[in-house]
């Protein structure tokens, strides 16, 4: 029984925290899964992938988008080293870091979660890092806003909101720096696990 408890605890620590998809329409956020539910990443040092997802778009397709991607480090823990089109999609990223302007050869059909970008990031620290989106500040289509082109012309560029993953940015870190929610239990319940 002790081995099972240890295995379950290790599984919880080794995976990211799960959240619900942002319920608001026309939002863009940074996630660690293609379902737009994982907003925390806990793992060892190395290179990993993340995703930029549009959640609940109210348009038929996404032709292009622009934003800026930022990494706020605590202890130089992480960095984003490449942002590109999603795997299997033809397109072009023409922005200069941190600004991203991405256009697709064929529009991506909208779905409740639409992957519109993929990024590689490195994590090499003992602290945490926070990855977030903001407005493109290099000649933006819509100043101060995340912009998405939802039709074939420049008149089809509309603002999208920053999902901010429920009010926080996407977090990467080690198990000792990410808060894991717990439930109150009695000491008797804990002792019962070892009987």
Task: Give the model confidence (pLDDT) of 21-54 as tens digits.
Answer: 788 899 998 888 999 988 877 766 778 888 999 9
Q: CATH code at 40? A: 2.60.40.680
Residue 149 belongs to a domain: yes
pLDDT(87) > 80 = yes
10-19, 31-40, 75-84, 138-147, range with the lowest pLDDT: 10-19
Has this prediction a pTM greater than 0.85? no
**Mean pLDDT on 57-68:** 96
Contacts of 154 (CB under 8 A, 6+ apart): 141
**Domains held by the chain: number:** 1
Give the range of the structural domain holding residue 161, as residue numbers without chain letter: 25-174
């Amino acid at each position: 029984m002790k081995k099972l408890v240890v295995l379950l605890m290790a599984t919880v620590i080794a995976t990211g925290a799960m959240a619900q998809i942002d319920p608001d329409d026309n939002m863009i956020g940074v996630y660690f899964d293609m379902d737009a539910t994982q907003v925390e990443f806990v793992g060892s040092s190395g290179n990993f992938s993340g995703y930029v997802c549009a959640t609940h778009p109210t348009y038929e397709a996404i032709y292009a988008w622009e934003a800026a991607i930022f990494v706020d480090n605590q202890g130089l823990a992480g960095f984003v080293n490449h942002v590109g089109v999603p795997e299997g999609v033809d397109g072009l990223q023409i922005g200069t870091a941190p600004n991203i302007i991405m256009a697709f050869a064929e529009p991506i059909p909208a779905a409740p979660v639409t992957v519109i970008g993929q990024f590689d990031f490195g994590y090499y620290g003992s602290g945490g890092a926070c990855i977030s989106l903001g407005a493109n500040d290099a000649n933006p289509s819509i100043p101060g806003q995340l912009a998405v082109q939802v039709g074939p012309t420049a008149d089809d560029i509309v603002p999208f909101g920053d999902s901010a993953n429920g009010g926080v940015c996407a977090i990467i870190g080690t198990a000792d720096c990410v808060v894991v929610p717990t439930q109150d239990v009695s000491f008797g319940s804990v002792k019962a696990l070892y009987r």
